[in-house]
Every structure is written in structure tokens, then in C-alpha cells.
Chains A and B, each alone.
Chain A
Amino acid sequence: MFDLERWQEIFETIRKNKLRTFLTGLSVASGIFILVILLGVGQGMQNGISNQFENDAANIIFVWTGVTSVEYKGLNPGRRIQMKNADFDFAVQKHKDKLEYASSVNRIWGGMVNYKDQTGSYRVEGVLPDYQFLENAGILSGRFINIRDQENYEKTAVIGKKIQTDLFKNGEDPLGKRIQISGLNFKIVGIYSDPGGDREESRVFIPLSTSQRVFNAGNNISFLSFTLPKMENFDNAMAVSNRFVSDLETRLKEKYSIAPSDESAIDINNTIEDAKKFYGLMSLIKWFFWGVGIATIFAGIVGVSNIMLIIVKERTKEIGIRKALGAQPLSIIGMILHEAIFVTLIAGFIGLISGLFLLELVGPLIETEFISNPSVNFNVAITTVFILVIAGAVAGFFPAWRAASIKPIVALRDE
């Protein structure tokens, strides 16, 4: 491998056989190039389809409290359970590595909202910044409640599109305007839309801290909401989700002295079962593109092997001459493979880099419904190059070995 004389011999062979080297290189490079593009498009389709169904995959968990129905530790049934900030803090503290988004919500009942002479009755909810993602609220203008609002008890509000059309009749821009919620001034900082439609868009979000302070809710919260991140497979996702839910339930029941069998005091709504279909679809897509990738690599292997066979066939006579001049079989095999691996490796990397370059360049521009951000994992691509080079070497080895072991007199007769 590090024999300088052999390198010289190989470089000379390459230099003197420019066309052959070029054609070999071209077919290997274009093969890898196409492979990279295909893998990229496959990934893009996977991304696109998974974006389409993203919302269906979300594992959302809501925790409500109600009234106890079972006597426990001498406490009568019929008690109303009220969650506190500490319950939320505890859940987030303990499970922060498992949670994607988390927010506790303080719902204010009977919130009258008015702007100038327009009035309406809307749901008013004190929330944390994460709630935007939990509710899938899309910001149309301005921003959502942020952490500074929460920390500084700001009187800021984010209103739904429906409220905008209700209260701002003459096309005024609501941003920066002040509205009254139950008589208290709030400044509008954002407007959102919600895929749920009018009903979901007729809500006002204000910072949780502010809502508890100005509406005298103390530390009370109405419900908790969490999402867990998407996982590789459904079984894991379900296991994590169920563990989280049961942990939370146990903790709340202990704290508020609720009978373990009491089903009405704590109501947990977990969407994980609904996500099952999506996980099935995703794994189907993954296997499909995995299959496409394998088939493409296989085609690449066949192509490279074919080139190797032709090269060795073409050099049979040269092998005979070299043998008559005293070349040992191993040295001939070594020389042919050395050259072949060198050329395929260089060409493979050229194909790889140009493929990656094209994906980088064009990828972000492609944003159709079913293809999104086509890209290739660099490690996968580089592994592919090595697989092809090794396959080419193996494919070249056998004919080279056969050519080197035929009698020189036979090889010399080859025309």
C-alpha cells in the first residue's frame, strides 16, 4: 500500500489510460451522485409526509381535577380537588427530560372583554409561553405570551382571530391597543389563529402569573397540559407516556388524599392511543425508503462490479505479458485492485460531494406538500461510498485473481 514504486506504476497507468480512468470514474461518480440524490429525495418525502401528519402524532396529555367519589382516610366523598402551581412545578421538575412542552392553565370564568363600545364574552386563560405549541396556535401578527410577561406579571393579552373580527369592526390593527378584561386594562401583543376554528379562536390568553394575581386565584390552576416528543417507535412512546401519566396520577392522589380507586377526582386525557396509526404509517414509510436505499445501493454494487469485470477483462493480455516478464500473481492482483480502489474512491467522493452540494443548494428550495428539506445523513452517504468501493474491490478481485492464475501463455494468446 505504501510502496512508492507501485504508486508510481499506478499513477503512470492512470495517466496513460486517461479515457478508461475517466469512464470508470464517471460511472462510479454518477452512480454515487444518483444514489445520494435518491437517498435525499427519500428523506425529503419522509420529512414531508411526517410533517403532514405531525399533529396527529402529538401525544398530548391533559390533567383535570374534579370531585372525589370515594371515601378515603376518613374523608368524605364530594370534595373538590384544586391543583396548585406546586403540582405543575413538581411534574416539570421530575420529568423535564421527557417533556416537549408543558403549561399549566388558569381559566377565568365569565370573562367579559370589551374594546371601546364593543363587548363580548370569551374564554380567558392564564397560560405559560409553551401553551402556544400545546394549542397549535399560529401567530398571525405580534407574538405570544413570553417568559418576561410571566415573570413581570405583565398585563398583556393574545387574542384569537374571531375576537379581532368581533371587536375591531372598522379594520383597526389590534396590536398595541388596550382591551378591558372584566374591567382591567390589558395590552394586545399578538393575534393567533387555531386549526380548531372559531370556537378555539375566541379565546384570550394572558400570562398565568398575571391571571392568578389580578383575578385573585392565588396559586390555583385549572388544568395541566403536556406534550411528549415523538419517538422512534410506538411501543417506546406508549411506555414513556403511560409511565409519566401514572406517575403524575399517583403523586396527585397521594398529595390530595384521594383513594387510588377514585376515578372522578382526577381526569387524565392521554392521546397516545390516537397516535398509534401515525406511528404505523411512519414506520411503513421508513421501511419503504430503507428498501429503496438498499435496492439503489445494490444497483450501484452491480454497476461498479460490472466496470471492474470489464477492466480486468481488457487487461488480460497485459497481465500475461507482465507474468512472462516475471510478475508474481499477487503483485498483479494487488496492482489492479490498488488502481481500481484508488479510482473508485476518488470518483466516489466526487460523486458524493457533488450530490451533497446539489442537495444543499436545491434542497431548501423544494417545499412541496410531500417533499420537505431533502437531505442526506453524511455518515450514511460516506458509508455508502465505502460499501461501493469495497463491493467494487471484491467484484474486481475474483476476475483479477482468475486472470492472474491463468497461464501466461493463454493470457498472451488473448486478443
Chain B
Amino acid sequence: MIEIKDLHKSYKTGANSLHVLKGINFNVKEGELVSIMGSSGSGKSTLLNILGMLDEADTGSYILDGVPIKNLNEKIAARYRNKFLGFIFQSFNLINYKNALDNVAMPLYYQGMKHKERTEKAMSYLEKVGLANWATHLPNELSGGQKQRVAIARALASEPKVLLADEPTGALDSKTSYEVMDLIQGINDEGKTILVVTHEEDIAHMTKRIVHLKDGLIINDSKVEQVKALANV
């Protein structure tokens, strides 16, 4: 599903150049649930942003579902993001003047789906994350866990190839974190490929494979025994 070869990325800060990714080689097969770990500054968020086409690598190749991702202009990047990827952010990033249902329906609007259709589809995904009764509530009327579940429903609604989660439990307490991880595990069990960036060991062990990054290089990449989140709730 994802093939990355010799990926380099550096940022210019004034006169200095900060080399963040120093040659990443990394493959993800369909249906995997991978966590990317590392201390801050290890380059894990940069890697995720490149995978999410929110940022572009300097050198190296990136193939997503057989499509080489390079020399993207904004227009094509937007189309690929809409078609291939679903994002889950630490700070949820819901549009605060739209209710839960409309937030979920948003990526469908950009797919050009008609109003009635996308409302129905968004509703079915809200049901899937257990928030059907909260459809008409605005984000500020929802708890953190509920917000993240709305964000997950939104990420799923466009039926992406890959879900990218950047510290999805970073703003949540442990109980809610496990509930969210349970939802993510459930989605993975249905066959969706998911990448999770986290710095929490317990969250990482709820995935099936852990990739350790340090100073822009992968220092460890191993399959782990998945801990079911439900067991911890």
C-alpha cells in the first residue's frame, strides 16, 4: 500500500539547514496497523505529513497504492488527499460552526456528492462511531472523546485507502484514549490500513507493528503482539 525509499527532508531555518529525515525506507501492506514512535524532533510528524501529502519530501520516492506521489501541485495533492487519505488530528480540527453531521459530510462535499446523498452517508458513519444521537450537536457541545470520534467518522466518510492519525489520543484521558483506540482497532479489523503517530508506549502496543524513529532514521521496525484496547477500559 505504501512504499517509501530513501526519503530525505530538511528544513531551512534562516542560514541553517535542519536535516529532519535522513533516508527513510519503509513499506506498509494493506490492512496493517502501524505506529510510528519517537521522541519529539525525531521526525515522526514530518514523516506523517509527507505521507499525508501535507508536505513534500526533498528526495526519495513515495508510492501510494501504486501511484507515485511526486511533483504534486496543490490541485492534484488536494484530489489525492480527498481520494486516498483520511486524517485524524490530535486537536480534532473540526469546523466549529458546523454540527457533527456536517463535519462528517465535508469531505464528501469536496468529492462532489449531492447534499442528500452525503448527509445519508455521513449519518451512517456517525452511527458507526456511536454518535448518531449527537448528529446535530456542534463540536463545542461534545466531549473530547466524542470530538475525536466525529473526526474519525469524517476521516472514514471519504472511504480512503489509508488513515493517518497524528497523536489521536494526545488530548484525551486514558479511558477515552482506549475507547478511541478500540474504535481504531475495530476499523483496522475491517481491513483498513492505518498509521498512528504516538509517543505513548501503551497506545503503540495496541497496534500490530511499531516503527521507532530517532534523529531522522528508523532504528527499529518490529511486529508486536497487539493489546486489545477494550481489555484496558
Partner of B98, one of A16, A324, A405: A16
B81, B94, B112, B154 interface centre (most CB from chain A within 10 Å): B81
Q: How far is the CB of B160 from chain A (nearest CB, A)?
A: 10
Partner of B87, one of A9, A318, A324: A324
Binds A, one of B63-71, B72-80, B170-178: B72-80
Partner of B110, one of A16, A317, A320, A325: A325
> Contact at A412–B110, with CB atoms within 8 Å?
no
Partner of B106, one of A320, A322, A328, A412: A322
> Contact at B55–A407, with CB atoms within 8 Å?
yes
Partner of B81, one of A5, A318, A325, A405: A325
Partner of A5, one of B74, B95, B97, B114: B114
Q: How far is the CB of B27 from chain A (nearest CB, A)?
A: 24
Q: How far is the CB of A330 from chain B (nearest CB, A)?
A: 8
Q: Mark B32-45, 1 if CB is under 8 A from A, else 0.
A: 00000000000000
Determine the chain B residues whose CB is within 8 A of the CB of A328 once the complex forms.
Answer: 74-75, 78-79, 110
Q: A5-B109, A12-B102 are in contact. Are A326 and B82 (CB under 8 A)?
A: yes
Judged by DSSP, the binding face of A is: helix
Closest to A325 in B: B107
> Contact at B110–A405, with CB atoms within 8 Å?
no
B198 at the interface (CB under 8 A from A): no
Q: How far is it, in angstroms, between the C-alpha of A407 and the C-alpha of B53 when the chains are bound?
A: 10
A70 at the interface (CB under 8 A from B): no
> Contact at A321–B93, with CB atoms within 8 Å?
yes
Determine the chain A residues whose CB is within 8 A of the CB of B78 once the complex forms.
Answer: 323, 326-329
Category for how many chain B residues contact A = 20 to 34
> Contact at B74–A326, with CB atoms within 8 Å?
no
A331 at the interface (CB under 8 A from B): yes
A216 at the interface (CB under 8 A from B): no
Partner of A324, one of B74, B79, B93, B102: B93
Determine the chain B residues whose CB is within 8 A of the CB of A407 once the complex forms.
Answer: 54-55
> Contact at A412–B89, with CB atoms within 8 Å?
yes
Closest to B154 in A: A325
A408 at the interface (CB under 8 A from B): yes
A170 at the interface (CB under 8 A from B): no
Q: How far is it, in angstroms, between the C-alpha of A320 and the C-alpha of B94 when the chains are bound?
A: 11
> Contact at A321–B55, with CB atoms within 8 Å?
no
A233 at the interface (CB under 8 A from B): no
Q: How far is it, in angstroms, between the C-alpha of A327 and the C-alpha of B81 when the chains are bound?
A: 9
B228 at the interface (CB under 8 A from A): no
Q: How far is the CB of B87 from chain A (nearest CB, A)?
A: 5
Q: A5-B109, A13-B97 are in contact. Are A326 and B75 (CB under 8 A)?
A: no
B185 at the interface (CB under 8 A from A): no
> Contact at A5–B79, with CB atoms within 8 Å?
no
A368 at the interface (CB under 8 A from B): no
Determine the chain A residues whose CB is within 8 A of the CB of B94 once the complex forms.
Answer: 321
> Contact at B55–A409, with CB atoms within 8 Å?
yes
Q: Mark A324-368, 1 if CB is under 8 A from B, else 0.
A: 111111110000000000000000000000000000000000000
Closest to B112 in A: A5
Q: How far is the CB of A40 from chain B (nearest CB, A)?
A: 39
Q: How far is the CB of B101 from chain A (nearest CB, A)?
A: 12
Determine the chain A residues whose CB is within 8 A of the CB of B95 once the complex forms.
Answer: 318, 321-322
Q: Can you give 18 A-B contacts (C-beta < 8 A)?
A: A5-B112, A5-B115, A8-B115, A12-B98, A13-B97, A318-B95, A321-B93, A321-B95, A322-B110, A323-B78, A323-B81, A324-B93, A326-B78, A326-B158, A327-B78, A328-B110, A330-B75, A408-B54
5 nearest A-B pairs in the assembled complex, by CB-CB distance: A326-B82, A16-B97, A409-B54, A326-B110, A325-B107
Q: Contact residues of A with B, CB < 8 Å?
A: 5, 8-9, 12-13, 16-17, 317-318, 320-331, 404-405, 407-409, 412
Q: Contact residues of B with A, CB < 8 Å?
A: 49, 52, 54-55, 74-75, 78-79, 81-83, 87, 89, 93-95, 97-98, 102, 106-107, 109-112, 114-115, 154, 158
